[in-house]
Amino acid sequence: MTGYSPALLDEIRTGVDIVELVGRFVNLRKAGVNYKGLCPFHAEKTPSFTVNPKKGIFHCFGCGVGGDAFAFLMKQDRVSFPEAVRALAKTAASGHASTSPSVGSIPRWPDASASASPPRDGTAC
Ligand SMILES: [Zn+2]
């Protein structure tokens, strides 16, 4: 085996934007929840190559290729699985560094409105 744990592979996979990755080689257009483009693995004139960003996978209805980000890079760059993992690990790491979605987007808790209306319990009578 390659020595990569499934957890690590999962982490890399979620850190990589497959649309961005495929978009480096294929001109992708948004089509509903998916992205479509001309397949880089076979000659075609009408796009049958789709990328599903939610699942992080690609599939071509023309030639039948498909898989995740690792599989795409292996096919595209003709590299082995460990090489694809290493390349995407770099991509994932740099992606995390440039965009930090958890910092700065935390909504402030509206503590003022929480105590603005005290409950009436009828003790005034
Ligand atoms: Zn194809």
Report if residue 88 sits inside a domain.
yes
pLDDT digit string, tens, across residues 35-80: 999 999 999 999 999 999 999 999 999 999 999 999 999 999 999 9
pLDDT computed for residue 94 by the predictor: 80
Ligand 1 centre to CA of 49 (Å) is 6
Number of domains in the chain: 1
pLDDT computed for residue 114 by the predictor: 47
Rounded to whole angstroms, how far apart are CA atoms 62 and 37?
Answer: 11
Report if residue 122 sits inside a domain.
no
Report if residue 121 sits inside a domain.
no
Report if residue 1 sits inside a domain.
no
Ligand 1 centre to CA of 28 (Å) is 14
pLDDT digit string, tens, across residues 15-35: 999 999 999 999 999 999 999
Rounded to whole angstroms, how far apart are CA atoms 66 and 41?
Answer: 10
Ligand 1 is an ion; its neighbours by CB within 5 Å are 39, 41-42, 60, 62-63
Q: Please tell me the pTM assigned to this model.
A: 0.72
Report if residue 124 sits inside a domain.
no
pLDDT digit string, tens, across residues 69-116: 999 999 999 999 999 999 999 988 886 544 444 444 444 555 544 445
Query: Whole domain around residue 100: which residue ranges?
Result: 6-116
Report if residue 52 sits inside a domain.
yes
Ligand 1 centre to CA of 58 (Å) is 10
Minimal CA–CA distance to 91: which of 72, 112, 110, 113? 72
